[in-house]
Structure 1
């Protein structure tokens, strides 16, 4: 009897220990990663699709929200809320840049070499101060071509992130480079399917009048970007890498499923 009680007590202690706590993956980002309601289909964010490439017990907490930059995400208290929600050991993917470059919107604009860099440093140090694991993610490319060559419209912002890898010893997922390679392989025409290009005849509930958008992702685009993120995550020497599935058919689909569901 005493042995059984001791074993039960040991089991409860192990479950209560930090080592036994479940590691979660938080996403701090913008509309390219955001989770969208079904009535916005086919607009989909890569953070919305990422759970389809991870084990069923993995927990992805997507706090990405459209129109946010490092400046506005901090100013609105969204970063503070994320920190309050996260637990020691949780991983935080930090991807900004698209809206930081919005010079015409002062509430968003953060020059790459100064305020953007300072904001990223704040996020890194505050995350670590809470026992979290920050991971930088360079912004995905737009469907932007100079002739047949892909353009990286947010290169200055990505370079700041890359520079922080060595100076702060922060892991990096280079989504800009990976997405640029993907678009280069697909070309200007083949890459249209990854973004929001639909006519009224396509009868998409979220866009009854059609849409031409080279920034935001379609279902297939979000799946493809999530696959690139999953590949990069798998290569990191972090415990969360073990939660990435070895094969990810949900993220490598070539035909739309018609929703953001996992099969």
Structure 2
């Protein structure tokens, strides 16, 4: 009993931390990569100043390669009791071209998610499952769901294990549907040669990765859900507006 009280006091005295385990859609980028940004870069803009964001997202990783490359063990080694761990994978798990990344949504993907949850809980931290951010895929005026099977598995694991869930995929799709194809295009790396984007003088068609405005919207959506989950971290969340995302040329906060 005394031990448990001492641990609770130690956790309460530690500044709150959010740790992100994910892929390129949440990762940090150097200024030279602008306008590409990950939502993890600007999540801080929806948090009180005392919260530390430890962004361990890495581009090109699936649940499988995140484990195989030792990135998951590296995360566990620095995890602290009381941390909140946001776990978002799916884009690369669905990659059948680079087969080393691929996981079956009803097989290894589910097994890996369950392992992540168990490991985080064993470290006395709080896991939060996050569905992968939606892609900009429109057909005949309708937005297509690119992550249905993987999102369904995340929902199932969250329900089975009673894990808090952030449905970023569903929330981003709703945000895009409300804006329509043309306006929502402005959240992704979709530029024509004449758009004047220095990094992409010949233009780019990337319907997966978000730009600054897309990253800010994604982070605001994540924060909005976190605020509603009634977790210890929730009282430190002040969601940024979901409309009129600023364009500041980097990850600074308004």
TM-score between the two structures when normalised by the length of structure 1: 0.90
String of CA shifts for 1:175-200, please: whole Å, max 9, x gaps.
Answer: 11101101111111111100012234
Q: CA 1:133–1:54 in 2, change beyond 3 Å: closer, same or farther?
A: same
For 1:155-234, list aligned pairs within 5 A.
155-234=148-227
Residue 14 of structure 1, CA deviation: 10
Give yes or no for the alignment of 1:81 onto 2:71. no
Contact 1:223–1:252, Cα closer than 8 Å, also in 2: no
State the structure with more CA Rg: 1
RMSD of aligned alpha carbons: 1.8
Structure 1: gaps (5+ residues)? 1-12
For 1:17-96, list aligned pairs within 5 A.
17-96=10-89
Instruction: List, as ranges, runs of 4+ consecutive aligned residues in structure 1 with deviation greater than 6 Å.
Output: 13-16
Residue 16 of structure 1, CA deviation: 7.4
Give yes or no for the alignment of 1:131 onto 2:124. yes
Between the aligned partners of 2:233 and 2:199, the Cα distance in structure 1 is: 34
Residue 252 of structure 1, CA deviation: 4.2
Give yes or no for the alignment of 1:259 onto 2:227. no
- How many pairs were matched up? 249
Contact 2:18–2:83, Cα closer than 8 Å, also in 1: yes
String of CA shifts for 1:134-155, please: whole Å, max 9, x gaps.
Answer: 1000111100123122111111
String of CA shifts for 1:63-121, please: whole Å, max 9, x gaps.
Answer: 11110000000100101101111101101000000000011222100010000000001
Q: CA 1:142–1:237 in 2, change beyond 3 Å: closer, same or farther?
A: same
User: 2:3 maps to which residue?
Assistant: none
Contact 1:223–1:253, Cα closer than 8 Å, also in 2: no
Contact 2:16–2:50, Cα closer than 8 Å, also in 1: no
Moved more, 146-155 or 88-97: 146-155
Q: Secondary structure at the match of 1:93?
A: strand
Contact 1:227–1:252, Cα closer than 8 Å, also in 2: no
Between the aligned partners of 1:59 and 1:252, the Cα distance in structure 2 is: 25
Q: Secondary structure at the match of 1:160?
A: helix
Contact 1:31–1:216, Cα closer than 8 Å, also in 2: yes
Residue 255 of structure 1, CA deviation: 4.6
